[in-house]
Amino acid sequence: MTPALRFDNLAKTYRERGAGKRALNGISFAVEAGEIVGFLGPNGAGKTTAMHVLMDILFPTSGSAEIIGLDSRDPESRQNVGFLPEVFAFDGFLTGMRFLKLFGSLSGRNLDLVAAHIPELLAFLDMPDAANVRIKNYSKGMTQKIGLAQALIGDPQILILDEPTSGMDPIAKARIKQLFIKLRSEGKTVFLSTHILSDVEDIADRVAIINQGELLAYDRVSSLLAANKRGFKIVFAGGDAGLPSALVGCAISNDSQGRTEVSCPDPKSRDFALQTILQHGGDIISLKTLGGSLQSQFLRLMHQEGLSDD
């Protein structure tokens, strides 16, 4: 099956005075249709460059980028794509309705269908009254939402979104997460760049992590998390005198507040420790997975392991 998006040994060097600046250094990976893929990396890693190559805004120095098997230089490749740039800007004199109609018609969709889709879309984005308001009067969050709406107008099969929830409030962010999950259930592909790793961890099927133009990892979220797990930490209080000696296979320490911390290397010892604590009358305060978050894996890959163990 043809992947929705494919980067094949893609390299991009910006021409600058003197030496060129290498933004992408031969990255290769494919995004399968119907998946949510998080595209992660620190600022200046090359995420936006890769997305702009997909959109034919930038040209590859070598290698190629494809959308549903078509080279990104072919305008047809963007037939089924919705794109939200990192900083969305549009002519402020247009109302939300006119703006969305304009981009709906540029997608080659039937204008009546587009017009029918707009109120539903705006309602979902919690801005039903914005249709007749000029974009120049929108707040930052609303501008971002209308940008997202223009990416969604015309019902594209692939969404390429560069920091889609930037400037949105937590409620809007939660709605957008729901939206991505809904789109995936409809068989659509979402390729998003974001710095909110917890969101990616929650909803993405796979993540691609790049730094300085190099692809460091491309894998399922579950695989990345499993590879990075370093055990569990249980915090409890109370319990009888025999409890510490009963916690076989776990490291025990006391914190300054008189609570006991138990570190277990694997799920089996964790389950045993939980059962033992309860049997000996202890009160479990918290249970945490050590090093299992996407953020910690991300930081580890960025050579900053240990900064966010919790």
Partner 1 sequence: MISTIALHKLAKLRHSRMILIYIIGCGCISLLTILPVILMGVVSGNRTVGADTALMYFAFARFFGLVAALMLGATLWRQDEKDGTLLTFMARPLSRIELLVGKSLGCLYALLIYLGAVVAFYMIAHLLFFRFSIPLSFPLYLIQELQFYLVYFAAGAFFSSLLNPLLAATAVLGWAFLALLAKIFLSLSPAWCRVLGKGFRFLSLDSDISYSVQALFTADIPTVMPLFKGITYYLLWSILLFSAAVVLFNRREFAGRRS
Q: 105 or 308, CB closer to partner 1?
A: 105
Our CB check for partner 1 shows the closer of 53 and 273 to be 53
Shortest Å distance, C-beta 93 to partner 1 = 4
- In the complex, least distance from residue 294 CB atom to partner 1, rounded to whole angstroms: 22
**Cα 69 to Cα 32, 57, 287, distances in angstroms:** 12, 18, 46
Task: Report d(CA 159, CA 81) in Å as an integer.
Answer: 6
Minimum distance from residue 91 beta carbon to partner 1 (Å): 6
Q: How far is the CB of 14 from partner 1 (least distance, A)?
A: 9
Residue with tokens 């794509």: 81
Least separation in angstroms between CB 218 and partner 1: 24
Nearer residue to partner 1 within complex by CB, 163 or 201:
163
C-beta of 114 vs 301, nearer to partner 1: 114
Considering CB under 8 A, how many residues would be counted as binding partner 1? 34
* Rounded Cα–Cα distance for residues 58 and 266 (Å): 47
- The partner residues of 218 in beta bridges, in order of sequence, read 208
Cα 251 off chain centre by: 35
Quickly list H helices, the chain.
47-54, 96-106, 111-124, 140-152, 170-185, 197-203, 221-228, 243-246, 267-279, 294-301
According to the binding rule CB under 8 A, does residue 180 interact with partner 1? no
Q: How far is the CB of 226 from partner 1 (least distance, A)?
A: 33
Query: Two tokens at 118?
Result: 């707009």
Separation CA 34–CA 40 (nearest Å) = 19
One symbol per residue from 118 to 147: x for binding partner 1 (CB under 8 A), - otherwise; what is it? -----------------------------x
By three-state DSSP, how is residue 87 classified? coil
Q: Are the C-beta atoms of 28 and 8 separated by less than 8 Å?
A: yes
Distance CA 42, CA 118 (A): 35
Range 40-99, binding partner 1 (CB under 8 A): 48, 52, 55-59, 75-79, 81-83, 85-91, 93-94
Binding to partner 1 (CB under 8 A) within 210-239 occurs at none
The residue among 132 and 257 lying less far from partner 1, judged by its C-beta, is 132
Smallest separation, CB 50 to partner 1 (Å): 12
> Looking at beta carbons only, is 25 or 166 nearer to partner 1?
166
Contact 210, 41 (CB under 8 A): yes
Residue 82 contacts residue 129 (beta carbons within 8 Å): no
Give the footprint of partner 1 on this chain (CB under 8 A). 48, 52, 55-59, 75-79, 81-83, 85-91, 93-94, 102-103, 105-108, 147, 150, 163, 166
